Amino acid sequence: MRRWPRRVLAAQELCALLMARRLLQGKRDDVEMSLRGILRGFGLKVGKTTPRTFEGRIRELVEGHPMLVRIAEALLAAHTMLTCQLRGLEKTVGETARRCPRTRLLMSTPGVGAIVGLTFVAAVDDPGRFRSSKQVGAHFGLAPRKYQSGEIDVTGRISKIGDGTVRTALYEAANIILAQPVKGSALKRWGLAVAKRAGARKAEVALARKLACVLHRMLVDGTSFAAEPARHPMPVAAA
């Protein structure tokens, strides 16, 4: 059996846990969408449901259709099992986040919960491998592409290289910061200023990139997120 260094093993375990959670979530959603699609083919529209009302709505629609009842029962059983297992893994994710000092540190940041915190910690692993916090955004594909030739200097879309799950987690955190009330956050003020100047989509990308820099610096310094800057305003990075 291969012996991994303790830090590497911990990061690998976090990655495996998060991957398993995403897998179960995706399979559950696939079953749900398949059920909706099958019934739609018979003119039966499920419509809007909640996790509590989904099963009852399906049973209501297939009542009186023996073959559809059999199909629905099989897929609902799979949906229930996947949901149960997903809840178990989500509980493990929450417990793991509470036991991880670095994740708890990152969760002091607006928009960063257990999933985002664990995803970032697992992907960065050793923050010392980045010479500068500004490199983290580029490492995860959040830096814009550059094309230079002679007098031509074009800035394109972000590169999207690196770990896509980290990018998605940072996008989600940035979206929460921009969309939900966050009191006393220089990050939100900065993001809204970018949105006003360049649009909501570019603001989300720019804020995700800045968030990667901030979270890495927190890991390096071991400091919690400061809701308000002490004396100097947060420096504005290029969008």
**Tens-place pLDDT, residues 148-205:** 444 443 344 666 777 889 999 999 999 999 998 876 678 889 999 999 998 998 899 9
Residues ≥6 apart with Cβ < 8 Å to 109: 173, 187, 211, 214, 215, 218, 225
Q: pLDDT-derived band of residue 143, with 50, 70 and 90 as boundaries?
A: confident
From the number of C-beta atoms within 10 Å of its C-beta (0-12, 13-18, 19+), residue 72 rates as: buried
Q: pLDDT-derived band of residue 237, with 50, 70 and 90 as boundaries?
A: very low
Count CB atoms within 10 A of the CB of residue 131. Answer: 7
CA distance 4 to 150: 48
Measured torsion, CA atoms of residues 210, 211, 217, 219, in degrees rounded to the nearest 10: -160
CA distance 186 to 178: 11
pTM, entire model: 0.78
Q: pLDDT-derived band of residue 67, with 50, 70 and 90 as boundaries?
A: very high
